[in-house]
Chains A and B, each alone.
Chain A
Amino acid sequence: MRLRAVVEEVRGCGDAALLRVGAPEIAASAAPGQFVHIICGEDSPRVLRRPYSVFSVEGGTLGILLKVTGAGSRWLACRRPGDPLDILGPLGRGYASAAAGEEVALVAGGTGIAPLHFLAVELRREGVGCRLFWGMESASDFGHLPHRLGDLADTRLATMDGTLGAAGTVLDLLGDSGLDGVARAYACGPSAMLKPLHRLCEEAGIPLQVSVEERMACGVGACQGCAVPVVDDPPGYRMACRDGPVFPSVELDWERIE
């Protein structure tokens, strides 16, 4: 689906920004883990759209969390209320849900919080208990956002510089007991985080679904650009945009993922 959406609000969250975008048709059908594909600047030198996982859906409004990492995200962060946005979505396959009464772990690295936030909202509504582990570089990364998640999930934070929560990575935060009693786990973050998490969950016998970060062009499964190595015979690839971005972690070939 394609929309001329309208920016409703841009809220600074530390070094990140949370955009609220009026896009009723996309909001009505978006599921946690799906993404939207946004043109970041008409007549810009950027030939590609930028994919963003949906952070939240409230009524007809999409929440999009972004960190400025380049010219595209900088352009997005500079939008003002009333500005138009060209959005495709919702795209891709999201997270499979959990059963009511289950306890699940959500593990986020940096902006990987976006799809997990949306997921936590949905899971809580369905009566699933959520333990959220979120690692970031520093307390300044996301401003007040980490402090507003308490209602949603049992939240534990880690920062590399120790300025918020525990010092270290989100995996340090999980430690030996973080996954105790957890029926399933969900994650989104860099592969350096997902890889050891996959091993940890495999050892503990906990099914894990991961949302992968891969560069995309078309976003709809046509160009074969966003390849993710999968366990297959012979070894092959699936596309993050169409087959993912969420995959059961056992399907991915972690040996071939850097």
Chain B
Amino acid sequence: MTLATDLAGIRLPTPVLAASGTFGRGTEYAGLTDVEGLGGIISKAVTLRPCAGNPPPRLWETPCGLLNSVGLQNRGVEAFLREDLPELLSWGVPVIVNLAGFSREDYLETARVLRRAEGLSGIELNISCPNVKRGGLQFGAEPRVAAGLVAAVREVIDLPLLVKLSPNVPALGEMAAAVAEAGADGLSLVNTFPAMAVDIRTWRPRLGAVTGGLSGPALRPLAVRAVWEAYKAVDLPILACGGVSSWEDAVEMLLVGARAVAVGTALFREPRTPLMIAQGLKEYLLSKGLANVGQLVGKVLA
């Protein structure tokens, strides 16, 4: 029995990763969890140039959920390669870079810069960030536009390419098929769901950017359904993200077609969540007499 698995050509020691935007360089959690025990780390979104992010407040907690409007704050791809990547790689687990942009040329130029990086395991192409006015979702809303960008990035870079999609796409199967056709090696499902909250005392939005993205367990059923839709539509490996907080949640994602899961919001409360999920998966596989998680993928009786 092994937890090791393959995701779009990326060898993962376990199928439980830290989701983009939630794990920093890993250093932040040293001492709180065994970072070396992760299946992989997906970096915070990286853009071509430094990005200041959105005005505060950037967070608002809702029942079983969290709204954020961080807005791609990062120091740009050059600083990422110089300062963040060496630390991320130091943990000895696969590192996947979340690549975001504000224009097509942004994405491509950043991809060209990332080509020089050594040690990267893959790219998570972020065409689904709800927190920026330009770019982000604008590339992830229409299959034709998404496919155009994916094909162009594919030309630039050889690394395994996962495309991160929004749960707020009307025909997810069509979208998945379009990016598969354009050369994606895998899908990452889902980004946060566009969301909003209002303070009824002041009549003002809870978030400085007015709207944000919903994550956490409240999002999970939407993510489960999205993974299932995509799994039926395309023959691509899927990384599932969206409220995964326990091994039971991970098994559910595997059953609807995921090959691996990423944990985000749950880390804030319990930094050891990915390790606890990996342990739970191991015991589950043993109890079912299964040799690997691949034997669960897509096995939902539906």
Number of A-B contacts (CB under 8 A): 96
Which of B52-60, B90-98, B157-165, B188-196 faces chain A?
A: B52-60
Answer whether A217 and B32 are a contact pair too, CB < 8 Å, given A222-B22, A226-B58, A256-B55. no
Q: Quick one: which of A197-247 are within 8 Å of B by CB?
A: 214-229, 234-237, 242
Binary contact track B39-77/A, C-beta < 8 Å → 1, others 0: 000001000000011111111110111101010010000
Q: Which residues of B contact A225 (CB under 8 A)?
A: 58-59, 68, 70
**Inter-chain contact B68/A221, CB cutoff 8 Å:** no
Q: Is the interface of B mostly helix, strand, loop or mixed?
A: loop
- Asked if B261 is at the interface of the complex by the 8 Å CB criterion, the answer is no
- Asked if A98 is at the interface of the complex by the 8 Å CB criterion, the answer is no
Which of the residues B52, B56, B68 comes within 8 Å of A214, measured between beta carbons?
B56
**Inter-chain contact A217/B63, CB cutoff 8 Å:** no
Q: Which residues of B contact A214 (CB under 8 A)?
A: 56-57
**Inter-chain contact B53/A48, CB cutoff 8 Å:** no
- Asked if A156 is at the interface of the complex by the 8 Å CB criterion, the answer is no
Q: Is the interface of A mostly helix, strand, loop or mixed?
A: loop
Q: Which residues of B contact A242 (CB under 8 A)?
A: 28
**Inter-chain contact A226/B56, CB cutoff 8 Å:** yes
Interface residues on A, range: 20 to 34
Using CB atoms, name the residue of chain B closest to A70. B61
Distance in angstroms between the alpha carbons of A225 and B73 in the assembled complex: 10
Answer whether A224 and B56 are a contact pair too, CB < 8 Å, given A1-B31, A47-B265. no
Return 17 A-B CB contacts under 8 Å, by A number. A1-B31, A47-B61, A47-B268, A88-B32, A217-B59, A220-B24, A220-B32, A222-B22, A222-B23, A222-B29, A223-B268, A224-B21, A224-B58, A225-B59, A226-B59, A227-B55, A229-B56
- Chain B residues engaging chain A, CB cutoff 8 angstroms: 21-24, 28-29, 31-32, 44, 52-61, 63-66, 68, 70, 73, 216-217, 265-271
- Chain A residues engaging chain B, CB cutoff 8 angstroms: 1-2, 39, 45-49, 88, 214-229, 234-237, 242, 256
